[in-house]
Amino acid sequence: MSHHHPIDEKGAISHVHGNGNGHLGTAQFTNANGSRASLDSHRYVANTEDSKMPDTMPNHSHEAAEAIARLTPEEYAAMEKRLLRKLDFKLIPWMTLLYLLSFIDRVNVGAAKLVGLTTELHLSSLQYSNASMIFFVSYVAFEVPSNLVLKKLRPSRWIPFTMICWAIFQTCMGLVTTYGQLLALRFCLGLFESGLFPGLNFYLTGWYKRDEINRRCAFFFGGAVLAGAFGGIFGYALSKMNGVGGKQGWAWIFIIEGLITLVAGVLSFWMIHDWPDTAKFLTPLEREMVLVRLKQEQGLASEGKFTWRVIKKALVDWKTYCFMLMYIGAAEPLYSLFTPTIIAYLGKFSIEQSLLLSTPPYVLMFITTMGTAFLSDKFHRRGFFLMGWSLVGAIGYLMLLTIPIRYPGALYFAVFVASAAVGPLIATTIAWTGNTFGNHYKKAVAMGLVFSAGNSGGIVSSQAYRDKDKPRFLPGHGTALAFCLLNCTMATIMYFGVRRENKRRDEMYGPPPRPDEVQEFEDPEYQRKWGLQGMTRAEIVELGDDHPAFRYIL
């Protein structure tokens, strides 16, 4: 079913009412029958081919674009600022909460270990490592399929569905009595959690421009990590329910946290919005403006339909594999920061003290993540920040490797250095990946693959940090050091690779179109300028980031 634009070809906008303070009023136009009508009506403004989503970016009618174009620069800037504030308020807090819950549900097995899980289930060191690792096996395997399903279905249905499923498995973990049951439930937990983090990052690229995305990704990642730092303390508090209902304290950690996720999953049916063209919290003109902003900035990149050719493009693009290695280079050190465990062996700290001492490094990680994201968006740069922070992370792990155990204060400082670097690496790599791929389906596949690779880091780190290596954990720290250097190497290759391609396109075709330039894809002049003669609109759309007008963020 199509949502037809309220202004058809016969209608014409006569003028736009804007008041002096930058508030946009309604656009008035004349219908074909001569009657007056308002653009700011209950009808959808976006002209989509699929009622569920903007498939992927509508072909805007000139009239609606003209309504926005008639605003003075001051009015446009004021409306844009209000619109961004509205999007941030409606989208980001709930995303942060969901990722926080997934983060806590993923790592609470560590808190459960500290309060008796391994003793009760008679787990060996290897069995605990396997239970920790099996989560990532299913998590990695199902990230790409989940992103494609999210693209095909409505986010407001798919994301809550996966949350409710993983909440049930999480709650059931409080009822396990054997190692096999724990393994099976951890596998199922990873299966359904796999869709959330890549899905949310991909979802945000359908709302924000490329130079706005890093701050948003960083906020919900950083906010969740910050809160996750307190998750250990929360888990320890729940363990004090030991004996209630005949259950051990570790069981209550799983049960209570699973039930909290279940409630959030049910509420998500109402709290998650689909795509901009159907968002009920936006006025029709605001919906149009979100889409116009994306189209101005990303052009053809944001359109496109599902074809296996586009999927193949993602699979044969060298940048996909470069980002995969870059992201595992950032994620493995993050998963290596088992800070309560590491800190517990720095001195004679109790469980409570270890959990409390693990919180300040996470707070620093949040500060560096947000600061880097702000500067990275402001200067439209990704590569240099990754190169710099990966070297800082390498220095932190080098300190953990070389400082003798008799200096616990210096080792604790090294944990701060490593933590400060790892947060910005994750958020900036994600933002750069989302910025680089044009066609929406190509982006969905590439981001899914990148997250799959990165989360394989969880498998590596759960095997690299072994109980038999305590108190120094030298193999684990050495592995994390190597992965930091891998991130630095890949960021350097990507930076010079896309810089060269941008330069080649500038020399061959001239500068890219200005953001306010109207691009007529069927116009022979347009096709001649970009060397696209004889191509259909669908073929031009499919080019995505291979379109000569597309420029990569460095």
**For helices 284-298 and 73-114, angle between their N-to-C axes, nearest 10 degrees:** 80
In this structure, the answer to whether residues 410 and 426 fall within a common structural domain is yes
Alpha helices in 178-283 (DSSP H): 179-193, 196-204, 213-239, 249-271
Higher pLDDT, 15 or 170: 170
Map 95-151 to HEC letters: HHHHHHHHHHHHHHHHHHHHCCHHHHCCCCHHHHHHHHHHHHHHHHHCHHHHHHHHH
Give the integer Cα–Cα distance in Å for 501 and 314. 17
Angle at 195 between CA 194 and CA 198, to 5 degrees: 95
Q: What is the DSSP letter of 259?
A: H
Reference 120, options 199, 178, 40; nearest CA is 178
- Phi and psi of 13, rounded to 5°? -75, 130
CB 193 within 8 A of CB 106: yes
In this structure, the answer to whether residues 531 and 459 fall within a common structural domain is yes
Give the integer Cα–Cα distance in Å for 312 and 28. 46
Q: What is the DSSP letter of 514?
A: P
Task: Tell me whether residue 376 is in a domain.
Answer: yes
Task: Tell me whether residue 255 is in a domain.
Answer: yes
Helix (H, G, I), strand (E, B) or coil at 163: helix
Helix (H, G, I), strand (E, B) or coil at 18: strand
In this structure, the answer to whether residues 271 and 347 fall within a common structural domain is no
CB 147 within 8 A of CB 452: no
Q: What is the DSSP letter of 229?
A: H
In this structure, the answer to whether residues 287 and 312 fall within a common structural domain is no
> Looking at the 3D structure of the chain, how many domains does it have?
2
- Residue 296: per-residue pLDDT: 65
Model confidence at 172: pLDDT above 70: yes
- Residue 200: domain span: 70-302
Task: Tell me whether residue 332 is in a domain.
Answer: yes
Model confidence at 28: pLDDT above 50: no
Query: What pLDDT digit, counting tens, does each position of 423-437 carry?
Result: 899 889 988 998 888
Q: Is the bond leading into 404 cis (omega within 30 degrees of zero)?
A: no
- Phi and psi of 30, rounded to 5°? -105, 125
In this structure, the answer to whether residues 281 and 173 fall within a common structural domain is yes
In this structure, the answer to whether residues 288 and 389 fall within a common structural domain is no
- Residue 340: per-residue pLDDT: 59
The length of the chain is 554
Task: Tell me whether residue 225 is in a domain.
Answer: yes
Model confidence at 470: pLDDT above 80: no
Model confidence at 301: pLDDT above 80: no
In this structure, the answer to whether residues 248 and 339 fall within a common structural domain is no
Highest mean pLDDT among 77-86, 89-98, 273-282, 499-508: 499-508
Query: What pLDDT digit, counting tens, does each position of 207-236 carry?
Result: 888 778 778 888 877 777 776 677 767 777
Question: For the residues 181-202, what does the mean pLDDT come to?
Answer: 87
Taking CA atoms, 109 is separated from 115, 186, 313, 530, in Å, by: 10, 9, 39, 55
- Name the region of 162 (left: φ>0; alpha: ψ -120 to 50; beta: rest): alpha
Task: Tell me whether residue 13 is in a domain.
Answer: no
* CATH number, domain with residue 548: 1.20.1250.20
In this structure, the answer to whether residues 101 and 171 fall within a common structural domain is yes
**At which of 247, 280, 302 does a domain end?**
302
In this structure, the answer to whether residues 233 and 146 fall within a common structural domain is yes
Please state, as a whole number, how many other Cβ atoms lie within 10 Å of the Cβ of residue 337: 23
Q: Is the bond leading into 56 cis (omega within 30 degrees of zero)?
A: yes
**At which of 302, 335, 360 does a domain end?**
302
Give the integer Cα–Cα distance in Å for 16 and 96. 38
Angle at 444 between CA 439 and CA 446, to 5 degrees: 90
Model confidence at 343: pLDDT above 90: no
- Residue 481: per-residue pLDDT: 94
Model confidence at 29: pLDDT above 80: no
Question: Using alpha carbons only, how large is the chain's radius of gyration in Å?
Answer: 25
**At which of 302, 333, 359 does a domain end?**
302
In this structure, the answer to whether residues 522 and 490 fall within a common structural domain is yes
Q: What is the DSSP letter of 53?
A: B
In this structure, the answer to whether residues 294 and 164 fall within a common structural domain is yes
Question: The tokens 């074809």 sit on which residue?
Answer: 307
CB 441 within 8 A of CB 304: yes
Task: Tell me whether residue 32 is in a domain.
Answer: no
Model confidence at 56: pLDDT above 50: no
Give the integer Cα–Cα distance in Å for 500 and 311. 25
Give the integer Cα–Cα distance in Å for 85 and 13. 28
Give the integer Cα–Cα distance in Å for 519 and 497. 27
In this structure, the answer to whether residues 316 and 295 fall within a common structural domain is no
Taking CA atoms, 324 is separated from 134, 317, 431, 459, 497, in Å, by: 20, 12, 13, 15, 15
- Residue 516: per-residue pLDDT: 59
What are the strands of the beta sheet with 12-18, ordered from one edge? 12-18, 24-30, 36-38
- Residue 518: per-residue pLDDT: 60
Average pLDDT over the chain reads 78
Give the whole-number percent of the chain exceeding pLDDT 90: 21
Model confidence at 48: pLDDT above 80: no
Task: Tell me whether residue 278 is in a domain.
Answer: yes
Task: Tell me whether residue 222 is in a domain.
Answer: yes
- Residue 164: per-residue pLDDT: 94
Reference 288, options 278, 303, 301; nearest CA is 278
- 310-325 exposure pattern, b = at least 16 Cβ within 10 A, e = fewer: bbebbeebebbbbbbb
